[in-house]
Amino acid sequence: MVRRQLAFLVGGIGAVGASNAAAALQQCKSAGDAQCESDGRDHAMLQMKSGKVEKMSDSVSCCFAFEDASDKCGSCHAGSTAQPGSFCATSEDHCKSCSPHAAWCTGDAAAPTPAPAALAPQPSPQETGPSTVDIAPQSPVSSQTTSKEWIHGTWTTGYWDCCKPSCSWAGKGRVNKPVLSCDIHTGAKLFDPNVKSACDGGSSASCADNKPFIVKRRLSMGFAAAAVSGNSGLTGDENCGQCYELKFTDEIHPNGNWGGSHPDLVGKSMVVQVTNIGQDVTGEHSFDIQIPGAGQGIFDTGCAAQFDGFSKEDFDCANKYGGCNEKKGCARLPQVLRSGCEWRYDWYHWLEGQGKTNNPYVNFRRVQCPKQITDISWSVPLDDHLFPTIDLDAYD
């Protein structure tokens, strides 16, 4: 699995905290181009109307995303300044409270004009751990979908290499912030998208809580790499942060019928968020699900760096492509990863039926990222409200 890594600094646009909510809402309502609502708790939501948005003035702006950290205002990306009249655009203090990396630009350096886009709700700027991700009120989207919205006939694999996810670098996808990675020494979430990957000698790794987990009897959630070189319709970095519902089917692999879903997996669903990009797969492959013990592939140095006292062979039972063949192999993994490894056998039914239940086929569609996922990754697509929500009651 080849993972592209792009590293230029982008400051996340932090949410407005509780103490600033009233002021933010007032500022929002005073902007002629804005539609404003409050979520009733601790955030004010601002969504700009479509159409060209003009600068607040020719002399000041708050820049959130830039290419050169030594010249933030001079290299500010188009569409990356605070919207006129918004809380973040009213003063330097407000700008800095919206993102610790933001730059308050004055004079000619304030020239970039915001592109028409919605400001997505963000986690709190007090970046001390996972927080609730608030979704701005949107028009209801039906959870029903037509057959045209589902992609059919693709299959899935699994991996766990502990490397920093590709979507944890800045500039990937249209999201409020990159998917969070974790420090290999402390396990704490990392909010700096430029920390080097553990698989390349750095200290940033995939977080242990990216392992799959069961939500309902017929529904699991987790994270995955998008296989973008095949026939799935997935395209690359722009898929970062997007969520998909995978519905497992009874289709089997041709040329010897070597794999497919176990009968108890058929009809179940899994919602995954794209955190990685796979450029080196072809054909009908669509998603490479993050599953501890499922194989490290060619990147077999990150896990041993992240977890002291374990050899690299412990993380996939010395089988880099396919991983552990039995549930008992999960006991070789660190305790924090074992439940995700065991999920592979208990819910996913890996290598049952004389070893033929593997790499199951799925139909998939894009959905709105559930809170259970964004509470882990902190990453929310800016267009998430356009897609159907997952009704947990439908999965018993």
pLDDT tens-digit readout, 302-322: 999 999 999 999 999 999 999
| Segment 254-276 mean pLDDT | 92
Which of 48-57, 76-85, 90-99 has the lowest average pLDDT?
48-57
* 161 is known as an active-site residue: yes
Is 259 in contact with 291 (CB distance < 8 Å)? no
Catalytic residue among 288, 300, 314, 316: 288
The catalytically annotated residue of 134, 161, 209, 314 is 161
Confidence class of residue 92 from pLDDT cuts 50, 70 and 90? confident
Positions of E strands within 160-309: 181-183, 189-190, 204-205, 213-216, 219-227, 243-248, 269-278, 285-290
| pLDDT level of residue 162 (50, 70, 90 thresholds) | very high
Instruction: Give Cβ neighbours of residue 23 (< 8 Å, ≥ 6 apart).
Output: 87
**Per residue in 164-190, pLDDT tens?**
999 999 999 999 999 999 999 999 999
At residue 76, the pLDDT reads 75
- Predicted confidence at residue 6, as pLDDT, reads 29
Band of residue 89 on the pLDDT scale cut at 50, 70, 90: confident
Query: Is-contact 39 45, C-beta < 8 A?
Result: yes
Dihedral (Cα; 210, 191, 61, 239), 10-degree rounding: -20
* Lowest-pLDDT choice from 140-144, 213-217, 238-242: 140-144
Cross-strand partners of 227: 278
- Average pLDDT (266-287) is 88
Confirm if 180 and 223 have CB atoms less than 8 A apart.
Answer: no
| 280 classed as catalytic | no
d(CA 17, CA 21): 6
- pLDDT for the residue 281: 61
